[in-house]
Amino acid sequence: MGFTRVYEAWKNDPETFWMQAAEGIDWVKKPSKALFDDNAPLYEWFKDGQVNACYNAVDRHVENGRADQTAIIYDSPITHTKREITFLELRDRVASLAGALRAKGVEKGDRVLIYMPMVPEALEAMLACARLGAIHSVVFGGFAANELAVRIDDAKPKAIIAASCGVEPGRVVHYKPLLDGAIDLATHKPDFCVVLQREQEVAKLIEGRDFNWHGFQHGIAPAECVPVSGDHPAYILYTSGTTGAPKGVVRSTGGHLVALNWTMKNVYNVDPGEVFWAASDVGWVVGHSYICYGPLVHGNTTIVFEGKPIGTPDAGTFWRVISEHKVASFFTAPTAFRAVKREDPTGEFIKKYDLSCLKTVYLAGERADPDTITWAQEKLNVPVIDHWWQTETGWAIAANPMGIEKLPVKLGSPSVAMPGYDVQILDEGGHPMPTGGFGAIAIKLPLPPGTLPTLWNAEKRFMSSYLEHFPGYYETGDAGYIDDDGYLYIMARTDDVINVAGHRLSTGAMEEVLASHQDVAECAVIGVADALKGQMPLGLLCLNSGVTRPNSEITAEIVKLVREKIGPVAAFKTAIVVERLPKTRSGKILRATMVKIADSEDFKMPATIDDPVVLDEIRVALQTVGLAQ
């Protein structure tokens, strides 16, 4: 069946479409129906079913002839380690860890925070929680103690599972002091912590609170899978919003399993048994959906890669991993390819490896620029598919459904809306725009299975952030247009979220840090174009009157402060001091205009600007850091 017919089948009868997709999941009790809309505009899927995510990701494969198939390949060029774990081994390891967590009091519905680098134990920790019906919340290792503390206070975890350290090029990331610092900062205290001691650094444990990963499992009975209802939260994943407080995106178990399982064949075109590799991190949604749950639920082998596209040891790492482990589908962020292309523009490393196993490459996380796609297509000689989604949706809103039908690729477009998503472009008043019109991208409610039902403990914020602006729709926060063939073009954000190396960051959160500095009177953070990372944050500061210290001293402190408060992932390296910030007459800072000036783009003088001369001052200041040329 061609894609149009599949999409139409969904549109004409979503209930039947999703109940059929639900057949791919092993239910303890089958749901009586797919959509539960009694609480609209809040929706739930498969609510009256009973299911366990870990059973579907692990145990069922052991029972169905895949016991000896490799479930996880751990490939860590940064620590020179490789390891393979079969589904049988994974089942035993996860059941043992879950048993030990249960023995310490973790039960269905309890939250468990996970702060780990890219090691297989990170997936095991997630799956052990899922086995018990506990709700995990993974925090990316590049966040600082303060960000970790904010998440601890919001999720109120009973336990925290961490590793002693992470390893970044040229430095060991000391997780344990960050963890201890976060617990000190947080108001909520976990009952206990579990620490995976890595060879690269053995952390000091706090007697009575911290337990050794291996030691605390000793002599404990393994845990069986605990059935949960379809709407039971599988996890909470925090993501950046407009303000400093991150949003706790909730993922319900039933829809999560059904949707991810559906995408593995239909979007990513892999069959059970094949190797699927998403080169991301468990701290991001890509890691949740396509390093952990998606491939495992579908019976694919997944790769846990601890390294970088370049420098570990070279720009050939991706190709070495693909050829060595026979990767069929490969998923990464455009920024990673830009990094490889910069070091190896002619693809010399690619020529060294047999990549005949590779069928398709998928890109997401940020806009895929046509140059990068063309380069990858030419050098790898396979389709390179851009697809668009967000933490909130958990799977692709728009993609090229390779397992159904390969649609023509249009450079600059992540192709078409997937079944489940009725995507529309709206004007400010919430009216659908004519084809080709540029506007806010919204999705007609209900969102499909696997997408967020709400925000953790913040239903009002969920409504105000996503549902209220355009009644009847989910507001994506992205803007763009749809062409005559129904292809989407994602062009910009409508909020203060920026995208740095495929990481979503909040300029509002950075501004809060800048504003907390004693010498700063006023500030703005904008995302300026960067050839490698897509965007980079830049801070503009107005100092309090009477400050006499050199500007360079203050900007250096600001850079350090953002790293301390938010973390290295913010990639905040540049701040400049200016006399004034451009504003509207009502006092709104003209951030978008400053972005245009920094990126040397044409812009329309805002009609409401208070004093246009300020823009010239900003241009001169930006030129001192190589922008606005």
Give the residues lining the site for ligand AMP (CB under 6 A). Answer: 239, 285, 364-368, 386-388, 390-391, 414, 476-478, 490, 493, 499, 504
* Partner whose binding site includes residue 416, from ligand AMP, ligand COA, none (CB under 5 to 8 Å by kind): none
Q: How far is CA 208 from CA 185, 211, 528, in A?
A: 19, 8, 48
CA atoms within 13 A on the CB side of 141: 23
* Partner whose binding site includes residue 234, from ligand COA, ligand AMP, none (CB under 5 to 8 Å by kind): none
* Partner whose binding site includes residue 391, from ligand COA, ligand AMP, none (CB under 5 to 8 Å by kind): ligand AMP
- Judged by CB, which is closer to ligand AMP: 126, or 275? 126
Contacts of 315 (CB under 8 A, 6+ apart): 309, 339, 340, 343, 344, 349
Closest CA to 364 of 254, 273, 478, 255: 478
The rounded distance, in Å, linking the Cα atoms of 381 and 35 is: 41
Shortest CB 559 distance to ligand COA, Å = 10
SS3 state of residue 396:
coil
Shortest CB 441 distance to ligand AMP, Å = 9
* Partner whose binding site includes residue 166, from ligand AMP, ligand COA, none (CB under 5 to 8 Å by kind): ligand COA
The rounded distance, in Å, linking the Cα atoms of 360 and 270 is: 10
* Partner whose binding site includes residue 182, from ligand AMP, ligand COA, none (CB under 5 to 8 Å by kind): none
Cis ω on the peptide bond leading into residue 370 (within 30° of 0)?
no
- Judged by CB, which is closer to ligand COA: 280, or 593? 280
* Partner whose binding site includes residue 414, from ligand COA, ligand AMP, none (CB under 5 to 8 Å by kind): ligand AMP
CA atoms within 13 A on the CB side of 98: 28
- Judged by CB, which is closer to ligand COA: 46, or 284? 284
Under 8 Å between Cβ of 506 and 520: no
* Partner whose binding site includes residue 173, from ligand AMP, ligand COA, none (CB under 5 to 8 Å by kind): ligand COA
Centre a 10 Å sphere on the Cβ of residue 38 and count the other Cβ atoms it contains: 9
DSSP string, 455-480: BTT-HHHHIIIIISSSTTEEEEEEEE
The rounded distance, in Å, linking the Cα atoms of 575 and 538 is: 6
- Judged by CB, which is closer to ligand AMP: 313, or 383? 383
Shortest CB 245 distance to ligand AMP, Å = 16
- Judged by CB, which is closer to ligand COA: 174, or 188? 174
The rounded distance, in Å, linking the Cα atoms of 316 and 320 is: 6
* Partner whose binding site includes residue 281, from ligand COA, ligand AMP, none (CB under 5 to 8 Å by kind): ligand COA
Which element (helix H / strand E) includes 397? none
* Partner whose binding site includes residue 244, from ligand AMP, ligand COA, none (CB under 5 to 8 Å by kind): none
- Biggest CA–CA distance in the chain, Å, is 74
Shortest CB 158 distance to ligand COA, Å = 24
- Judged by CB, which is closer to ligand AMP: 349, or 395? 395
Q: For residue 627, give the DSSP letter.
A: -
Shortest CB 386 distance to ligand AMP, Å = 5
Shortest CB 283 distance to ligand COA, Å = 7
The rounded distance, in Å, linking the Cα atoms of 549 and 552 is: 8
Under 8 Å between Cβ of 262 and 102: no
Shortest CB 495 distance to ligand AMP, Å = 9
Shortest CB 479 distance to ligand COA, Å = 21
- Judged by CB, which is closer to ligand AMP: 14, or 309? 309
Shortest CB 119 distance to ligand COA, Å = 11
Shortest CB 286 distance to ligand COA, Å = 4
- Judged by CB, which is closer to ligand COA: 273, or 568? 568
Shortest CB 392 distance to ligand AMP, Å = 7
- Judged by CB, which is closer to ligand AMP: 300, or 451? 451
* Partner whose binding site includes residue 183, from ligand AMP, ligand COA, none (CB under 5 to 8 Å by kind): none
Contacts of 380 (CB under 8 A, 6+ apart): 350, 355, 358, 361
SS3 state of residue 545:
coil
Question: What are the residues binding ligand COA (CB under 6 A)?
Answer: 117, 141-142, 166, 168, 173, 280-281, 284, 286, 308-310, 333, 335-336, 339, 365, 500-503, 532-533, 568-569, 571
The rounded distance, in Å, linking the Cα atoms of 445 and 473 is: 5
* Partner whose binding site includes residue 568, from ligand COA, ligand AMP, none (CB under 5 to 8 Å by kind): ligand COA
Which element (helix H / strand E) includes 294? helix 294-297
Length of the chain counted residue by residue: 629
Vertex 280, ends 279 and 285: CA angle to 5°?
135
Shortest CB 5 distance to ligand AMP, Å = 25
- Judged by CB, which is closer to ligand COA: 93, or 503? 503
The pair of three-digit structure tokens given for residue 175, joined into one six-digit string:
């997780």
Vertex 30, ends 24 and 34: CA angle to 5°?
80
The pair of three-digit structure tokens given for residue 140, joined into one six-digit string:
């990316």
- Judged by CB, which is closer to ligand COA: 102, or 251? 251
* Partner whose binding site includes residue 291, from ligand AMP, ligand COA, none (CB under 5 to 8 Å by kind): none
- Judged by CB, which is closer to ligand AMP: 229, or 335? 335
- CA dihedral of 446, 450, 452, 453, whole degrees rounded to 10: 60
